[in-house]
Structure 1
């Protein structure tokens, strides 16, 4: 399966990543990507940048090294009300919003609380994707979350980093989540979760998993740039004029 968009990358601004936007874009070009999302950690994550960092993404060119740049953020799910750590005024300036559980922010609790937090975050209308849902520290009711995400047109992420050691124990869970989405509907996004440029666009383990469960291409929003850009419009975003040739 061809994957043309990396929807989850970090730069040095995240505090524990090691490459710049330019370095990531160059790596994306070398991998043959069409689009790359810049998704640094939102402010409550230790070491993360101030909210001005996200508001100022308008200065980023729409193309770097020939790769389209999507302006985004990886927010933190804060509580069982599904609140995230980014003001709606900033969210409205961005193209793409991931919401994730991170242990320093949302201390792992139980399956019911995790499920409630995810459902509320999805229902809020403020997020486009759930990041690395395979994390075994945050068990949840797959069917409930998958059905809610499908209803609200929010995608769940299959995260390459989770499949190669960053969140040990994610592999089987990601496989089960993908199978659940295949059965009950909805779509996925694919992210490298790169914290170093060499990993941008690395979907080796994602592709293996999707092949293993025979996941339908039409349920993958990152299959082509046009598929991803149309998804953003479905989410209520205005078309990005600079990317007109990619639709």
Structure 2
């Protein structure tokens, strides 16, 4: 499985990452990526930038080191109503919105609460993908959430860092079940390194191995082809990115 997009990466703007977007793009080029999603933490995360940081991504070049730059965010799930920590006015400036649970923002609760929050955030229409769902601190009704995600064209991330055991300990077991059930349900998957340092860009070996284990077909993995990913954004109602015309 050839992965040409990393859909989850951080720069030093996140407050606990250590590279610039220029350094990340160069690493992406050296690892033969075609697109790089830059997805710093949204404002509710300690150390994260002000929402203006995300609104101002329009100044970023569409290509850095010949790698296409997807302007994004890793937003925080705030509550059971499915709200995220950016105002709706920010949406027009973003190509790619990840929604994730983070302990400092949404303290772990019950399976029912986590399920309600995830379903509501899917139905809000404001997020494109659910990030690192394998975190065992946030159990949820897997079939209910993945079925809803498929119905609303929201992708499911396979997060490589979650599979390393370095953070979100115990995620590997739940990630295995999520990919197994997601394959049966027919969701669209993405692959994110969750890089917090440039050398981690495109480190996706464990995510790829998990997808292969469950015989996930490439057509269900958005990151295997630039056109597949970009057309998914169109399906999500995003405007066509003229600078990427040759990649559609």
Equivalent residue of 2:156, what SS? strand
Aligned position for 1:200: 201
Whether 2:156 is the aligned partner of 1:153: answer no
Unaligned runs of at least 5 residues, structure 2: none
User: What does residue 28 of structure 1 align with?
Assistant: 28
Deviating 4+ runs (over 3 angstroms): none
Once residues 13 and 71 of structure 2 are traced to their aligned partners in structure 1, the CA distance between those partners, rounded to angstroms, is: 14
What is the TM-score with the length of structure 1 in the denominator?
0.99
Provide, for residues 27-80 of structure 1, a one-character-per-residue CA deviation record: whole Å limited to 9, x for no partner.
000110000001000000000000110011011100001100000000000011
| Alignment map for 1:204-219 (pairs within 5 Å) | 204-219=205-220
TM-score, normalising length from structure 2?
0.98
Count of aligned pairs between the two proteins: 247
The 1-side partners of 2:63 and 2:141 are apart by 39
Which string of whole-angstrom CA distances, capped at 9 and with x for unpartnered residues, describes residues 61-111 of structure 1? Answer: 000011000000000000111110011111121101000000000000011
Aligned CA-pair RMSD = 0.6
SS state at 2:194 partner: coil
Unmatched runs of 5 consecutive residues or more in structure 1:
none
CA distance in 2, matches of 1:19, 1:228: 25
For residues 160-196 of structure 1, give each alpha carbon's deviation from its aligned partner in whole angstroms, at most 9, with x where no partner exists: 0101122110111111101111111221111000000
SS of aligned partner of 1:8:
coil
Q: Is the 8 A contact 2:56 2:93 kept in 1?
A: no
1:134 — aligned with what?
A: 134
CA distance in 1, matches of 2:168, 2:215: 24
**1:218: how far off?**
1.1
Residue equivalent to 2:122: 122
